[in-house]
């Protein structure tokens, strides 16, 4: 697959620079809101055209673990860890450890039937 075919998602630019809690009921810019409004639709678009979704995590104030788990773990619970792991590419130059952390959340997610 060519790099130019990737679908881009920049969290700081397209969603918020100050990510929030896990659920909508716990505050603004939650992982649940991010999953519903951006991550899932973009993931579906990417998989429908057979390309990779490139998620850029740079430029944000920080990511609470609950936010990341709800968004990426939630996506993996919905579509399967292997499918999500394969279709998403992550970059974070500010905090490189976040990439491994998210990969772990994706791999540890169990599909909800």
Partner 1 sequence: MHFAPDGQIVKKLIVGEKWKRHLKARSRYEEKARKRFRSHREERRVLALRSTFGEPFRKTVRLEAPQVFSLIGNPDETIGFLNNIISTARHHKNVSVDLSAVETITPDAVAALLATIDWRNMGRAQVSGNVPRQEAAKEFLENSDFRRSVHSVGGYIRKRQMGKIIKSTSGRETINSRFHQEFAQQLIEFATSTLTANKRRFHPPSYSVLGEAMLNTFNHAAGPNESRRPWYASVYLDLARRRACFTFIDQGVGIFKSHDFAARWRMRFKLGSLLSLPNNANLLQRLFHGEMPSRVKEPGRGNGIPGMYEHCVAKRIRNFSVIANDALGQAEIEQYRLLAKPFGGTILYWEVEYEGDAEA
Nearest CB to partner 1, comparing residues 26 and 51: 26
Selected range binding partner 1 among 13-21, 35-43, 45-53, 80-88, rule: CB under 8 A:
13-21
Considering the rule CB under 8 A, would residue 35 count as an interface residue with partner 1?
Answer: no
Q: Pick the binder of partner 1 from 77, 81, 84, 88 (CB under 8 A).
A: 77
**CA–CA separation, 90 and 84 (whole Å):** 11
Question: Hey, how many other C-beta atoms are within 10 angstroms of the C-beta on 15?
Answer: 18
H-assigned helices in the chain:
11-14, 31-34, 40-48, 65-68, 74-79, 81-87, 97-108
Q: Pick the binder of partner 1 from 13, 62, 86, 107 (CB under 8 A).
A: 62
Considering the rule CB under 8 A, would residue 18 count as an interface residue with partner 1?
Answer: yes
Cα-based torsion angle of the residue sequence 93, 49, 2, 41 in order, rounded to the nearest 10 degrees: -10
Residues that bind partner 1 (CB under 8 A): 18-22, 25-30, 60-67, 69-70, 73-74, 77, 94-95, 97-98, 101, 105, 108-110, 112
């Amino acid at each position: 697959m060519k790099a130019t075919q990737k679908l881009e998602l920049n969290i700081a630019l397209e969603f918020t620079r100050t990510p929030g809690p896990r659920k909508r009921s716990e505050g603004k810019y939650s992982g649940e809101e991010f999953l519903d409004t951006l991550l899932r639709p973009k993931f579906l678009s990417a998989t429908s055209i057979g390309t990779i979704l490139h998620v850029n995590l740079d430029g944000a104030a920080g990511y609470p673990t609950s936010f990341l788990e709800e968004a990426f773990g939630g996506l993996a619970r919905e579509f399967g860890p292997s499918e999500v792991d394969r279709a998403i590419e992550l970059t974070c130059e500010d905090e490189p450890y976040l990439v491994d952390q998210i990969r772990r959340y994706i791999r540890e997610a169990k599909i909800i039937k």
